[in-house]
Amino acid sequence: MTPNHWTAALALGLLAATGCTGSRRSARPASPPAATIPYAAGPAGAGPQANGPQAWWPVQPLVLPPIETDEGVVSRMLLAECKTPGYPDYDEAQAYWAMLAMKAVVHNRLTTSPARFGAPGARSYADIIAARGQWSGFSRGPQGFVVIDPETARHVDELMAHANDGPPGAYYRFVRNALYVSYAPVQDPFAMLTSVDGGPVLPGAYGWRREDSGQPGGAFVAIPRSAGGVLGGAQFYAIRP
């Protein structure tokens, strides 16, 4: 099986295994099941482990979808924006939830009012992510495809190299989770949120910044930490109607 075919098989296997149909805050999104990923034969008694390094190697290395696809753009954006296993305070579950919320931000911007977020006429996730002044490192090239600046591309390449170096470990699961989220139906951790600080907000998340960054201003309002608004080092924002 070629790497591209393996990527497709990974996506189909994950989607089939999760049975996800939508987003509800009352139902915790399931973690991507390790058992759906094909592995080469390992030592006697070995098997997929959801927590901790594997003792054996997958059949093929993890491969990102083509940049020309929504999944390719979303997966690279998640890798570029999420706190990675290289941080001392990295938390795998928090990073996974942050990925879910980040994809939800893109989805919510696309399905409400793209023009409000600098992307008038947007018809895809790629249109939202590549909109001028929205996500650092992502833009539209002369041919109309999404392009990534050299620094962001180097960061993503380094993460892929770590993920595919030796037995699957934290970096492997980090990239695997990004692939899962990029293909899976949207699961917004804040889908049931309707008010912040006593004022109404549109349900769901509409932006994020690093936790130590300043406020974006405008109609954005920080989702309180008590409501789960800080995930994986990112502060998420709702928006006033």
Q: Is residue 167 part of a domain?
A: yes
* pLDDT grade for 52, boundaries at 50, 70 and 90: very low
Residues 177 and 211 in one domain: no
pLDDT tens digits along 70-80: 999 999 999 99
Residues 79 and 170 in one domain: yes
Residues 1 and 114 in one domain: yes
The predicted pLDDT at position 144 comes to 83
Q: Is residue 34 part of a domain?
A: no
Range of the domain at 156: 1-7+63-187
* pLDDT grade for 137, boundaries at 50, 70 and 90: very high
Q: Is residue 217 part of a domain?
A: yes
SS3 state of residue 236:
strand
| Residue 19 pLDDT exceeds 70 | no
The residue with greater pLDDT, 17 or 132, is 132
Q: Per-residue pLDDT averaged across 149-161, rounded?
A: 97
Backbone angles phi, psi at 234, to 5 degrees: -110, 135
The predicted pLDDT at position 39 comes to 31
Mean predicted lDDT score pLDDT of the chain: 81
Residues 214 and 105 in one domain: no
* pLDDT grade for 14, boundaries at 50, 70 and 90: very low
3-state secondary structure 146-186: EEECHHHHHHHHHHHHHHCCCCCCHHHHHHHHHHHHHHCCC
CA-wise closest residue to 134 among 105, 97, 98: 105
Q: Is residue 56 part of a domain?
A: no
Q: Is residue 27 part of a domain?
A: no
The predicted pLDDT at position 142 comes to 85
Residues 136 and 211 in one domain: no
Residues 69 and 153 in one domain: yes
Q: Which residue has the tokens 């409400």?
A: 112
Residues 100 and 207 in one domain: no
Residues 104 and 120 in one domain: yes
Residues 179 and 200 in one domain: no
- Total residues found in the chain within this entry: 241
Q: Per-residue pLDDT averaged across 38-51, rounded?
A: 32
Residues 154 and 215 in one domain: no
SS3 state of residue 125:
helix
The predicted pLDDT at position 60 comes to 74
The residue with greater pLDDT, 157 or 36, is 157
Q: Is residue 51 part of a domain?
A: no
pTM strictly above 0.85? no
Q: Is residue 220 part of a domain?
A: yes
Residues 137 and 232 in one domain: no
How many domains, in total, are found in the chain? 2
SS3 state of residue 222:
strand
* pLDDT grade for 145, boundaries at 50, 70 and 90: confident
**Last residue in a domain, options 170, 187, 204:** 187
* pLDDT grade for 151, boundaries at 50, 70 and 90: very high
Contact predicate 135/148, CB 8 Å: no
Q: Is residue 68 part of a domain?
A: yes
Residues 84 and 107 in one domain: yes
The predicted pLDDT at position 41 comes to 28
List, in sequence order, every residue forming a beta bridge with 234; answer none if it has no partner: 210, 231
Q: Which residue has the tokens 């910044």?
A: 209
Share of the chain above pLDDT 70, in %: 76
The predicted pLDDT at position 207 comes to 97
CA-wise closest residue to 218 among 189, 241, 198, 234: 241
